[in-house]
């Protein structure tokens, strides 16, 4: 069955009976496959829906995942009545998914919006910071025991390293010889990279409900005024640390280049972007932060970047099983770009710490 027929079949199961016009592939996200599916309403107007094929290699319990999303979106909606929200459609038997062989489909409203991979407009960055900060504060009173871990140990950096060392031993794709330099560097920073995991295990950082995948392209901005409209991609909403969300956001938006830029020498953390994001994020979260969270917020950016280096390299060594790739060396390019960024962060850590402290003082 070709993709047109497949998507139409899925939409019909979600009880969309309008005239089918076609689909567009959305080139965003490295794990799930995303399509905008277009229909014509009886009055002739166009109407689109977002249909996703969830990656069940990454998400082993997609039904539990949809249950998480349902609860979290309902909680946020109850706090912001009338505001734009994600809404997942149901089948005739009230399920938010369609299982079809190894495919796991879901469908939600399509929100016309702008998204950014690289942002230099500091106003937009600040708005993204506010949106992710607010996401955490909106969920501060959510009972996290209601959530399953959609990917167990997702930000457990120690476990990520263990998996990498195991992959190195097995060398299933014969790629270990060519990545010696990267492995050596990752080994040299292992303890520093694992700081959040170690502090979490020691009970020194509070567990919160976090988004865990805070790339700036997971914020939908208004085409009219670039205000943040809604935070999307709730697959990894789980109990986590504040630093996971702040760190991953800076890793992505704070980089001078995209995360897979092959010109590694251009990668690095833009301190203006760092400051703008911190201002937005901390304007919402600072009042509830512990001293340890403040102290470790800047280093969390390094930790999250190093962790993703480990994950990209692990996947490269294992033969590209997890992340979608656009070329055979895509995961290696990603690894190298993230290493260059992480090294630059270490150089700028004192300044990053100072900026965090300033923003916290302003918001308390």
Q: Which partner in Mg ion, ligand GN1, none is near 30 (CB below 5 to 8 A by kind)? A: ligand GN1
Supply the minimum distance, in Å, between the C-beta of residue 302 and Mg ion.
21
Q: Determine if 307 is a binding residue for ligand GN1 (CB under 6 A).
A: no
- What burial class does residue 5 get, using C-beta atoms within 10 Å of its C-beta: 0-12 exposed, 13-18 middle, 19+ buried? exposed
DSSP 305-319: HHHHHHHHHHHHHTT
Closer by beta carbon to Mg ion, 115 or else 192: 115
CA neighbor of 200 nearest in space, from 235, 141, 157? 157
Residue 275 gets the label, from left (phi > 0), alpha (psi -120 to 50) or beta, of alpha
275 and 353 in contact (C-beta within 8 Å)?
A: no
- What burial class does residue 45 get, using C-beta atoms within 10 Å of its C-beta: 0-12 exposed, 13-18 middle, 19+ buried? exposed
Backbone angles phi, psi at 20, to 5 degrees: -75, 130
Residue from the set 308, 337, 340, 355 that interacts with ligand GN1 by CB under 6 A: 308
Which 103-122 positions form the footprint of ligand GN1 (CB under 6 A)?
none
Residue from the set 259, 314, 315, 320 that interacts with ligand GN1 by CB under 6 A: 259
Distances (CA, A) of 86 to 48, 209, 225: 14, 18, 20
Supply the minimum distance, in Å, between the C-beta of residue 87 and ligand GN1.
20
Q: Determine if 138 is a binding residue for Mg ion (CB under 5 A).
A: no
Supply the minimum distance, in Å, between the C-beta of residue 302 and ligand GN1.
15
Q: Determine if 344 is a binding residue for Mg ion (CB under 5 A).
A: no
Helix (H) or strand (E) holding 104: strand 103-109
Q: Determine if 58 is a binding residue for ligand GN1 (CB under 6 A).
A: yes
Q: Determine if 245 is a binding residue for ligand GN1 (CB under 6 A).
A: no
Q: Determine if 31 is a binding residue for ligand GN1 (CB under 6 A).
A: yes
The number of residues that bind ligand GN1 (CB under 6 A) is 11
Q: Determine if 259 is a binding residue for Mg ion (CB under 5 A).
A: no
Distances (CA, A) of 253 to 51, 216, 241, 271: 26, 6, 19, 11
Q: Determine if 315 is a binding residue for Mg ion (CB under 5 A).
A: no
Crossing angle between the packed helical segments 180-188 and 157-170, to the nearest 10 degrees: 150
Q: Which partner in ligand GN1, Mg ion, none is near 68 (CB below 5 to 8 A by kind)? A: none
Closer by beta carbon to ligand GN1, 62 or else 359: 62
Residue from the set 215, 318, 330, 348 that interacts with ligand GN1 by CB under 6 A: 215
Helix (H) or strand (E) holding 197: helix 195-201
Backbone angles phi, psi at 322, to 5 degrees: -105, -60
Q: Determine if 62 is a binding residue for ligand GN1 (CB under 6 A).
A: no
Helix (H) or strand (E) holding 126: helix 122-138
Residue from the set 134, 138, 182, 213 that interacts with Mg ion by CB under 5 A: 213
Q: Determine if 336 is a binding residue for ligand GN1 (CB under 6 A).
A: no
Q: Determine if 155 is a binding residue for ligand GN1 (CB under 6 A).
A: no
Q: Determine if 72 is a binding residue for ligand GN1 (CB under 6 A).
A: no
Q: Determine if 235 is a binding residue for ligand GN1 (CB under 6 A).
A: yes
């Amino acid at each position: 069955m070709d993709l047109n027929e497949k998507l139409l079949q899925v939409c019909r199961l979600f009880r969309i009976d309008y005239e089918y016009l076609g689909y567009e592939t959305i080139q965003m996200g490295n794990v799930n496959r995303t399509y905008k599916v277009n229909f014509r309403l009886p009055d002739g107007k166009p109407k689109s829906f977002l249909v996703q094929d969830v990656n069940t290699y990454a998400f082993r319990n997609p039904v539990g995942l949809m249950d998480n999303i349902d609860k979290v979106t309902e909680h946020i909606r109850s706090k912001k009545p009338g505001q734009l929200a994600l809404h997942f459609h149901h089948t005739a038997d009230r399920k938010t998914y369609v299982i079809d062989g190894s495919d796991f489909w879901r469908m939600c409203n399509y929100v016309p919006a702008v998204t950014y991979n690289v942002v230099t407009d500091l106003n937009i960055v600040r708005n993204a910071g506010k949106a992710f900060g607010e996401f955490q504060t909106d969920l501060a009173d959510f009972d996290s025991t209601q959530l399953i871990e959609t990917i167990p140990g997702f930000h457990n950096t120690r476990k990520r390293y263990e998996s990498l060392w195991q992959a190195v031993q097995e060398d299933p794709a014969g790629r270990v010889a060519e990545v010696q330099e990267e492995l050596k560097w990752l080994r040299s920073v292992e303890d520093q990279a694992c700081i959040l995991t170690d502090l979490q295990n020691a009970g020194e950082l509070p567990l919160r409900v976090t988004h865990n995948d805070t790339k700036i392209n997971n914020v939908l901005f208004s085409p009219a005024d670039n205000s943040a409209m809604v935070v999307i991609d709730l697959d990894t909403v789980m109990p986590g640390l504040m630093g996971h969300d702040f760190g991953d956001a800076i890793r992505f938006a704070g980089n001078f280049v995209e995360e897979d830029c092959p010109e590694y020498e251009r990668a690095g953390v833009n301190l203006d972007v760092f400051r703008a994001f911190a201002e937005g994020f901390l304007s919402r979260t600072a009042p509830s932060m512990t001293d340890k969270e403040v102290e470790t917020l800047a280093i969390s950016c390094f930790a999250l970047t190093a962790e993703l280096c480990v994950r990209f390299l692990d996947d490269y060594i294992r033969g590209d099983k997890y992340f979608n790739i656009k070329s055979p060396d895509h995961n290696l390019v990603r690894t190298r770009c993230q290493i260059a960024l992480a090294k630059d962060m270490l150089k700028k850590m004192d300044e990053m710490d100072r900026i965090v402290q300033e923003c916290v003082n302003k918001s308390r």
